[in-house]
Structure 1
Amino acid sequence: MFKEIVSQAVPFIDHWLQFRYARLEMPGFVVAISIDGKVEFLKAYGYADAEKGEPMTTDHVFRIASHSKTFAATAIMQLAEERLLHIDEPVAKYVPWLRDHKDHRMEKVTIRQLMSHSAGMIRDGKDANFWQLTNSFHDLADFKKALMSCDLVFDTNKQMKYSNFGYALLGCVVEEVYGMPFSSYVQAKILQPLGLSHTTSEVNDDMHSKLVVGYTRRGREKKRQAIEKHIDTRQMAAATGFCSTAADLCKYFEAHFVGSKKLLNDESKKEMQRTQWRVKNTHIGEEYGLGFQIESVLDRKVYGHGGAFPGQRTKTICDSNEKLIIVVLTNCIDGEASYMARGLYTVLDHFHGSAYRADRETIDQLRKFEGIYTSLWGDLAIVESGRNLIGVDPNTWFPFGRDQEIQVLELAGDNRLRIANANGYYSEGEYAEFDFDFNGNVISVDYAGYNMLPESEYSHDFAKTKVTT
């Protein structure tokens, strides 16, 4: 169980994330890990506003973008449980103006098809430049006009075709069926019952000071531009408008675990989390449920959602067997939130696998060698792995990945390790000698003849280096 090893994993995770942040050109990010309803790790790195030097905190609010679809789908399933709608009936039954669409196939589009992105509907309309902030997001009148001008791209039930317009239309369904604005419904039926006090379905003035500044990609001059914070997604809120914190998202996704007795009954949750369609051409074999993305990490099925908003990238993954939730929120448009979340899962898995291969005394002996060490040629993270230590490259989101070159290090004395297994081009069979201070902190490492220092201490002006002969 991940719950049993998280305390062992946290020191490495924190050091590794600090190390990664120092070497990445990202403004900032927040990471949360929750297991069995308890937030075990919650930390912020970098800046919420780089220009002002405002440090990122765990209380900062992010635009979580397509995470919004999970809230919209939850609202629909709640209405289905109340028998106010049926997800296999046509949307036009509940949204009368849709019956006037010039493409008569639209009359047969069902609520389930919108939820699973199998309606064949256009993604963002014929003019999607609201995503580039040259236009405003659609209000209801503009959305109706835009949707009514767009035929279906494919026949229904042919393939998974992602559609923000489809989820904006689901927001209309909620409003028509329940007779109140989508935002009011979500506040009353989802946010308040769970105590999500830092989550809203749309940006508002009250939270403006708590919002992170989002940033563009780096341009030709290698600089990012800050993006205006107060962007109202209006009728697109059900698809992309929500704002939240990492801690609130942990609480929200915990409610979606089967057996939590929150938000929905278990049958509704299982229906949302099961595969409805496979997603074409994704390298990680993604699938889609009803409002949830489904993917595999280390051959295990996880679900959740990602989000991409102008200036921000976010990702949540959930493992229902482990009751594990990982949330990553970044404030740049190219933030690697998905890789980070998946990588954190593999790190936890490594510690889970190594926890049962050694006794406490052996682990304590190994732990004093742990750290991230640096030389001119690179970095090496030394991590306890059961009865041995391993050396991995910390400059990746998957340091323990199956395709990574991992060195096995064995105890060979109080201050010495033997490189027991390594790539044939490396230093297998040689030794790493550690120099410790009086407090047991590593001062330096002679790693097969190469001097390495703890990464936080490494500094060298190579322009002034003189090599004598």
Structure 2
Amino acid sequence: MSNRAALESVLPYVREWVSYKVWQLRVPGVQVAIGYRGEELFSEAWGYADVEAGRRLTTSDLFRIASHSKTFTATALLQLAERGSLRLDDTVGTYVPALVDGGSPLADVTVRELMEMGAGVIRDGHDGDYWSQLRAFPDEAELLALVLDRGQKVPAGSSFNYSNLGYSLLGLVIAAVSGKSYNEYVRAEITEPLGLTNTGPDWDPSRADDFVVGYSGFHTARTRHRLDHVDTRAMAAATGFHGTASDLVRYFSAHVIGQGTLLDDHSKRLAQRTAWRSADTAGPKGYGAGFITEQINGREVRGHSGGFPGHITQSLFDPASGLVVSVLTSAASGPATLLATGIVQLLDAAADEHAEGTPIPADVDADTFTGRFANPWGVTDVARIGERLLEIDPTAPAPLESPTRLEVVDADTLRMTHGSRFASVDEDVTYDRGTDGTVRAIRGGGGMTSEPWSIPEETPEVAAGLA
């Protein structure tokens, strides 16, 4: 089986797993897109764009993708550097003279240090209540005031410090160098050339009806409430962007080494190498120049997450293989990272020719075994993952947290061959079928019967956690 065929073989279960997580976690709306080597393999939406109105979510509805904006900002700066319009080691004060006039030590940090989050800039200012929608996001004058008010908390080059204000300053650099506003530049040089018709640098009131409503989380209440969209003004370069999962797959595909025309491969490597680790000790997650770097199952991935009032998003891509996954959710604390990581794990497992377990025989129709089953003790998925059948617990945070591998014994029997021996490894799963072959029940772990189960129909308010 080719790598692409292996990835495509697991997409039906990706759909089933995501569907369950959306229902289990009562997420108002979720978009998922998956790409491979520049082609979109999967694009789907679950839930509602507007719960109260009963408006179903589609794959073209717009989410606020927040800190994904930083990748667009870094891309713009690298474009300008490739053209000789600036050098990454230029000081920021060269392009933002207000820092020099205000006596800020940030005037002497470099563009590169800001891009890599190594300039020591305070994260959101000493008054960051615009994030809680208690006041408007700052305009340029207010942004500079926030930065000039003790805006450097540690010396440049001393440590990694994630900063929205730092990336907002980079938006001013792009405007100064290009002679266009930040928003005009990224439209002209990034979104329009790629044909990203559903992606833009900030709130677009002319498309208000296309935007997904964002909702609060469950951390202080049992029910969600809606949150308004706002313009991020001078902070668009850090957090303003909107988009769709499909557009983000196309965009990040252009950042794969050897693909696309946004940047040359040298610039991509500069952006995607790990400049800092996210903690004082070595760990799997770090930061490049506008891109988060991490490992999933030993696979090196790049991308970015995003958090906006009512929207949590995550995109991951493998710069070597061309695999791209984007997940957008419309709730505070939405499970975007959980879903994106789980999807990558499922795709990797499907493509692993050397995985434990026995491949499905060529003359066996795996669909006669797959399905979702439940009893009072839990829910079990029998799923095709590449060339193998696995028993998966969809209630767990990760789909492959503790799978059981299954071997086909005969038309009505699977054997549990690999898995936790606290469970029922080396025992059988038997199928009870009707005269038409439909599965009526299975008897598996602990000798218990489980029956086919599907997600129940619910009102939009109940499904999304508003009631």
Report the counterpart of residue 272 of structure 2 in structure 1: 273
Report the counterpart of residue 311 of structure 1 in structure 2: 310
Q: 1:392 to 1:147 in 2, by over 3 A?
A: same
Name which of structure 1's ranges 410-419 and 4-13 shifts more when overlaid on structure 2.
Answer: 410-419
Report the counterpart of residue 436 of structure 1 in structure 2: 433
Which blocks of at least 5 consecutive residues in structure 1 are unaligned? Answer: 460-469
Q: 1:174-225, CA deviations, whole angstroms, 9 ceiling, x for partnerless residues?
A: 1111111110111111111111111110111222101101011126550111
| TM superposition score normalised by structure 2 | 0.92
- Alignment pair present for 1:195 and 2:192: no
Q: 1:35 to 1:363 in 2, by over 3 A?
A: farther
Report the counterpart of residue 466 of structure 1 in structure 2: none
Q: 1:82 to 1:422 in 2, by over 3 A?
A: closer
| TM superposition score normalised by structure 1 | 0.91
The answer to whether the 8 Å contact 1:61/1:244 transfers is yes
Q: 1:107 to 1:363 in 2, by over 3 A?
A: farther
The answer to whether the 8 Å contact 2:199/2:247 transfers is yes
Report the counterpart of residue 98 of structure 1 in structure 2: 99
The answer to whether the 8 Å contact 2:393/2:399 transfers is yes
Report the counterpart of residue 177 of structure 1 in structure 2: 177
Report the counterpart of residue 346 of structure 1 in structure 2: 345
In structure 1, how many angstroms separate the alpha carbons of the residues matched to 2:322 and 2:310? 30
Report the counterpart of residue 68 of structure 2 in structure 1: 67
The answer to whether the 8 Å contact 2:96/2:173 transfers is yes
Q: Which amino acid aligns with 2:263?
A: L
Q: Which amino acid aligns with 1:76?
A: L
Report the counterpart of residue 380 of structure 1 in structure 2: 380
The answer to whether the 8 Å contact 1:287/1:295 transfers is yes
The answer to whether the 8 Å contact 1:98/1:106 transfers is yes
The answer to whether the 8 Å contact 1:381/1:393 transfers is yes
In structure 1, how many angstroms separate the alpha carbons of the residues matched to 2:439 and 2:281? 43
In structure 2, how many angstroms separate the alpha carbons of the residues matched to 1:247 and 1:380? 30
Partner SS state of residue 187, structure 1: helix
Q: 1:306 to 1:219 in 2, by over 3 A?
A: closer
Report the counterpart of residue 443 of structure 2 in structure 1: 446
**Count of aligned positions:** 454
The answer to whether the 8 Å contact 1:79/1:85 transfers is yes
CA RMSD of aligned residues (A): 2.2
Report the counterpart of residue 244 of structure 1 in structure 2: 243
In structure 1, how many angstroms separate the alpha carbons of the residues matched to 2:276 and 2:242? 27
Q: Which amino acid aligns with 2:188?
A: A
How far is the alpha carbon of 1:390 from its aligned partner? 2.6
The answer to whether the 8 Å contact 1:202/1:232 transfers is yes
Partner SS state of residue 362, structure 2: helix
Name which of structure 1's ranges 112-121 and 428-437 shifts more when overlaid on structure 2.
Answer: 428-437
Report the counterpart of residue 464 of structure 2 in structure 1: none
Report the counterpart of residue 131 of structure 1 in structure 2: 131
- Alignment pair present for 1:364 and 2:364: yes
Report the counterpart of residue 331 of structure 1 in structure 2: 330
In structure 2, how many angstroms separate the alpha carbons of the residues matched to 1:220 and 1:246? 29
Q: Which amino acid aligns with 1:431?
A: D
How far is the alpha carbon of 1:354 from its aligned partner? 4.7
In structure 2, how many angstroms separate the alpha carbons of the residues matched to 1:157 and 1:422? 47
How far is the alpha carbon of 1:308 from its aligned partner? 0.2
Report the counterpart of residue 90 of structure 2 in structure 1: 89
In structure 2, how many angstroms separate the alpha carbons of the residues matched to 1:58 and 1:377? 35
Name which of structure 1's ranges 128-137 and 200-209 shifts more when overlaid on structure 2.
Answer: 200-209
In structure 1, how many angstroms separate the alpha carbons of the residues matched to 2:338 and 2:158? 30
How far is the alpha carbon of 1:306 from its aligned partner? 0.3
> Could you tell me the percent identity over the aligned residues?
35
In structure 2, how many angstroms separate the alpha carbons of the residues matched to 1:426 and 1:13? 24
Report the counterpart of residue 48 of structure 2 in structure 1: 47
In structure 2, how many angstroms separate the alpha carbons of the residues matched to 1:34 and 1:137? 34
- Alignment pair present for 1:414 and 2:411: yes
Q: Which amino acid aligns with 2:337?
A: S
How far is the alpha carbon of 1:425 from its aligned partner? 3.7
In structure 1, how many angstroms separate the alpha carbons of the residues matched to 2:264 and 2:181? 24
Q: Which amino acid aligns with 2:413?
A: R
